[in-house]
Amino acid sequence: MFYITSEERPDGWVNLSNATCWERWLRRNIPADLNAAVRNRLTSNLKHILVGLELKKALILPHALRKNDECGVLFEPYFQTLIFEFCVGSYSVIEGLGAAQWLHHNNRDGAAERRVSRDRWRAALCAVYDDNGARHLEDDVRQVAHVRDRMHQDGIGVRTEIDWHALGFDAAFVPANRSIETILLRESDLVPDTSNLPELAVQKD
């Protein structure tokens, strides 16, 4: 059995961080001038998604980075499913933060806002989290969105680009993971020490 923990053969599931651990970081990254209900709802949604990303990453990496002579950690369809879920979850986090930043910079509190378009929230996200483009956040976000959009099933008869096997480690997981790593560099001191999501998280032990 595979355990996502540093402990040896624990009894049952052992989590290293939980949703509450993410609240401090989110409160500093979701502008305070948003409508309180909007801000609370976004914080609640994203903190649970971030914990889910931790679990998925903990399963994806050992399988993807195993040596040729090592057994796989995951049944291959599960591997693809987890990459898809990691990609969608990452998209939700960056979309939520990007939309919040766009609202803030346009003096809106979000209470009456129906939707912030992707072009608007992506530009706002990159301006805050990668203002000089050094991390190539815009390229990563575009790729994550591309992968997410390719999996819509409503036009499967005419859209030849829909392909479950396109959800590979390099094409889907890597840009999604890098996007999350980039946004976590802001207020990095508030990122939970137990999280495996930040860059070089392995060195935090």
Sorting pLDDT into bands at 50, 70 and 90, what band is 202? very low
DSSP state of 203: G
Closest by Cα among 179, 85, 198, 167 to 141: 179
pLDDT at 37: 96
Sorting pLDDT into bands at 50, 70 and 90, what band is 204? very low
Nearest-angstrom CA–CA distance, 103 and 65: 39
CB neighbour list of residue 169: distance below 8 Å, 6 or more residues apart: 60, 64, 83
Nearest-angstrom CA–CA distance, 145 and 152: 11
Q: What is the pTM of this model?
A: 0.87
User: In whole angstroms, how far apart are CA 57 and each of 89, 98, 181?
Assistant: 11, 22, 12
pLDDT in tens, 119-140: 999 999 999 999 999 999 999 9
Nearest-angstrom CA–CA distance, 54 and 62: 13
